[in-house]
């Protein structure tokens, strides 16, 4: 097979081959473990590999050879309408393990299906029906038509923004429902989405400043950056698939408000009377659970656990913590854990076990979570606190 190895073609070839291998491994793992997140990730990596293929082959000289040029022309490598929703559904399946796609979700893939049909019609018309090229009379790859590139660019930005909004909702819900939020935040997802968005914005700015940047040869840096990004998410996704996910539906905690204003006011008035009676009682019971029973020592404590202990709803407990203690659930529990660590230090526990051992005994599930929570509570790192208060 003809392939002109150069610096540009060789570097993109490395990412292309790794991408194909990663996608096969993840697809296999996803099917075996019935893990939809892995399957979506495999699809994303495969599409990313196809996305850089025309430029990899272009730098390798394929557009100068008739047979290879036709392969590039008639194969829709750049799936600009399919890649964005695949990113979105991969992230949704990663954050919410209980999520299942419905028929309604298929609307996201209609533009990609239409473009595939368009590509198939071009192939049949130019190679099967007409004696000479009609669609490809201008000798330009349809994947790089201006309308398609702009539409794909807009679609990518839309789904990246949509994914960021979903992540922030997940983050907010996590802090409101579990005491080990830092362990399941998937911070790499946010970093990836922001980096991807910035890459697209930079590409847009360069095109506005210098329209000639649209020439084939000047796009290498963008495709190299794109390759590094999808390689990053490949490795990060593979490493983080074993992480725990929130084990319940967020709708169980935050139910949608009634759409009718009159109905909403009526419900709020009824609930406010009942809640005012329960509010102080629950607040004192919460303190008792923390101080006497020390339930915060459970490293996997959730809002549901407290609701069950106090025979009430998670929503009610969340309101009491938010309004009564001016904190979210995660910070509320970690504050008591930090106080427990301080108490143990004052009793000389540091002479008997390590600081990490004290933190784990107090309910923290990792050193990083302990350090962040302790500094948020005391404004000092654990080591700084010991030096200042326990010389």
Q: What is the pLDDT of residue 258?
A: 45
Strand, helix or coil for residue 59: helix
CA distance 386 to 391: 7
Chain centroid offset of residue 116 CA = 27
What single-letter DSSP state applies at residue 322? I
Residue 190 burial (CB < 10 Å; 0-12/13-18/19+)? middle
Residue 258 to residue 235: CA distance in whole angstroms: 43
Q: What is the pLDDT of residue 270?
A: 52
pLDDT tens, position by position, 340-372: 999 998 888 878 888 999 999 999 988 989 999
Alpha-carbon span 118 to 66, nearest angstrom: 22
pTM summary value: 0.82
- Cβ of 51: how many Cβ atoms within 10 Å? 22
Average pLDDT estimate for 298-319: 90
Of 26-30, 43-47, 272-276, minimum mean pLDDT range:
272-276
Q: What is the DSSP letter of 257?
A: P
Q: pLDDT, tens digit, for every residue of 197-223?
A: 988 888 888 778 766 655 666 788 889
Measured distance CA(28)–CA(97) in Å, rounded: 18
pLDDT (mean) for 48-63? 93
């Amino acid at each position: 097979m003809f392939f002109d190895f150069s610096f540009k073609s060789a570097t993109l070839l490395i990412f292309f081959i790794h991408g194909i291998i990663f996608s096969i491994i993840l697809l296999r793992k996803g099917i075996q473990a019935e893990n939809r997140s892995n399957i979506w990730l495999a699809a994303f990596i495969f599409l990313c590999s196809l996305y850089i293929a025309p430029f990899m082959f272009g730098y390798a000289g394929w557009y100068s050879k008739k047979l290879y040029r036709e392969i590039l022309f008639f194969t829709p490598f750049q799936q600009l309408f399919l890649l964005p929703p695949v990113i979105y559904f991969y992230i949704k399946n990663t954050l919410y393990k209980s999520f299942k796609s419905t028929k309604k979700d298929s609307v996201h893939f209609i533009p990609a299906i239409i473009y595939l049909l368009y590509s198939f019609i071009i192939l049949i018309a130019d190679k099967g029906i007409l004696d000479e090229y009609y669609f490809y009379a201008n000798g330009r790859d349809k994947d790089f038509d201006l309308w398609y590139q702009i539409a794909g660019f807009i679609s990518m930005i839309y789904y990246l923004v949509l994914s960021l909004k979903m992540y922030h909702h997940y983050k907010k819900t996590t802090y409101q429902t579990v005491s080990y939020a830092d362990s399941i935040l998937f911070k790499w997802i946010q970093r990836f989405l922001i980096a991807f968005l910035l890459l697209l914005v930079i590409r847009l700015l360069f095109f506005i400043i210098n329209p000639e940047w649209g020439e084939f040869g000047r796009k290498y840096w963008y495709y190299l950056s794109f390759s590094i990004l999808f390689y990053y998410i490949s490795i990060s996704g593979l490493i983080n698939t074993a992480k725990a996910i929130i084990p319940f539906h967020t709708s169980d905690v935050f139910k949608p408000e009634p759409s009718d204003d009159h109905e909403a006011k009526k419900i709020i008035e009824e609930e406010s009377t009942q809640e005012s009676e329960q509010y102080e009682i629950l607040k004192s019971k919460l303190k008792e659970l923390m101080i006497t029973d020390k339930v915060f020592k459970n490293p996997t404590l959730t809002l549901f656990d407290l609701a069950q202990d106090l025979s009430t709803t998670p929503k009610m407990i969340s309101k009491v913590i938010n309004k009564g203690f001016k904190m979210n659930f995660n910070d509320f529990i970690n504050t008591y854990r930090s106080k427990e660590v301080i108490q143990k230090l004052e009793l000389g526990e540091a002479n008997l076990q390590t600081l990490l051992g004290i933190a784990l005994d107090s309910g923290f599930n990792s050193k990083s979570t302990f350090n962040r929570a302790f500094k948020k509570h005391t404004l000092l790192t654990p080591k700084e606190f010991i030096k200042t208060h326990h010389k």
